[in-house]
């Protein structure tokens, strides 16, 4: 089906809200981390892990699974929270984020969590990794979909555009990129620091099938993924216009929350606000 019914949308919204609450609790207990991007991407992660991805939390290394590459690894709280709620590991483990000895590092690390598809940290590398996976899957006649999640700010990195060119040359129709277009990075607005302009048109000029969506609208995101999966002429990109800090009005669209963990009062305020959405 190319659309979500009302019942599924409601279910996914509730899951996304739970993911957001876990993100805030994790970051408060860690005392450091990145809330804005993680909160903004919660709807997309809920949709992927609870409706779109072909995966099996009970058999996380199942060869037939789709691959999800998180390039902007600093938003890993949304990845960890989504995987925990999906059943990959106990929810209680989320409390160990960024602690010594924890598997939940400040950026995902395959040495500690082998079912995470890539280790990340330096920005701009994830798309190259995903392109390699997509080429490998084609060589071995697989039928996986490779999803690469990128930030808008990491498009300042030249390596990203090298991967964009290679994916187009190889016509990787098994590759779907989702760009978190939230217009912020750690030191301010992306368009003031290094203007990115119309990202959808830029990708189109490189030969990609490109779509612009509201990244916090589950129906729009799902329709775009459906179209991308059915596009066979080359790689696809979805420019997901998200609200950084989504769900906590006091934090939304404020770049200062890119990498600032909440204190106890801020965390309580945020959790109460999220609780009120589905009281």
User: 236 — alpha (psi -120 to 50), left (phi > 0) or beta?
Assistant: beta
Q: What is d(CA 76, CA 108) in angstroms, rounded to the nearest whole number?
A: 7
Name 132's Cβ contacts closer than 8 Å, sequence gap at least 6.
Answer: none
CA-to-CA distance for 80 and 95, rounded, in angstroms? 11
Q: What is the pLDDT of residue 122?
A: 87
Q: Which residue has the tokens 């990195």?
A: 157
Structure confidence at residue 278 (pLDDT): 78
Q: Looking at residues 66-92, what average pLDDT do you find?
A: 98
* pLDDT in the model for residue 279: 67
Looking at the chain, how many residues does it have? 279
Average pLDDT over residues 99-116: 94
Delineate the domains of the chain, giving CATH numbers in brackets. 6-277 (3.40.50.970)
d(CA 104, CA 233) in angstroms, rounded, equals: 38
Whether the pLDDT of residue 9 is over 90: the answer is: yes
Give the distance from CA 262 to its chain's centroid.
21
The stretch 93-101 carries a mean pLDDT of 96
Q: How do residues 200-245 score in pLDDT, each as one tens digit?
A: 999 999 999 999 999 999 999 999 999 999 999 999 999 999 999 9
pLDDT at 1 over 90: no
Neighbours of 160 (CB within 10 A): 21
Q: Cβ(194)–Cβ(156) under 8 Å?
A: yes
Least confident interval from 48-52, 61-65, 121-125, 177-181: 121-125
Q: Look at 15-19, 118-122, 209-213, 225-229 and tell me which has the smallest mean pLDDT.
A: 118-122
pTM of the full structure: 0.97
Give CA separation, 149 vs 6, 31, 117, 243, in Å: 26, 25, 12, 16
């Amino acid at each position: 089906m190319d659309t979500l019914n009302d019942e599924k949308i409601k279910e996914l919204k509730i899951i996304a809200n739970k993911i957001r609450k876990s993100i805030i609790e994790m970051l408060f207990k860690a005392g450091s981390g990145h809330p804005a991007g993680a909160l903004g991407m919660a709807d997309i992660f809920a949709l992927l892990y609870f409706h779109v991805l072909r995966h099996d939390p009970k058999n996380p290394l199942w060869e037939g699974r789709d691959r999800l590459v998180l390039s902007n690894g600093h938003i890993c709280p949304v990845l960890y929270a989504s995987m925990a709620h999906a059943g990959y590991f106990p929810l209680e483990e989320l409390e160990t984020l960024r602690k010594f000895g924890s598997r939940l590092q400040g950026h995902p690390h395959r040495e500690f969590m082998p079912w995470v598809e890539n280790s990340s940290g330096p920005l701009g590398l994830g798309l190259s990794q995903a392109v390699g996976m997509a080429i490998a899957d084609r060589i071995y006649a697989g039928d996986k979909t490779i999803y690469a999640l990128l930030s808008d700010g990491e498009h300042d990195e030249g390596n990203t555009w090298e991967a964009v060119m290679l994916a187009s040359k190889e016509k990787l129709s098994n590759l779907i990129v989702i760009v978190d277009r939230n217009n912020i990075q750690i030191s301010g607005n992306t368009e003031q620091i290094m203007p990115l302009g119309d990202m959808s048109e830029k990708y189109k000029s490189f030969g990609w099938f490109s779509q612009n969506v509201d990244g916090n609208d589950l129906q729009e995101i799902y329709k775009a993924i459906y179209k991308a999966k059915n596009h066979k002429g080359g790689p696809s990109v979805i420019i997901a216009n998200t609200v950084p800090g989504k769900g906590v009005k006091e934090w939304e669209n404020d770049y200062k929350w890119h990498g600032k963990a909440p204190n106890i009062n801020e965390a309580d305020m945020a959790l109460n606000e999220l609780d009120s959405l589905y009281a």
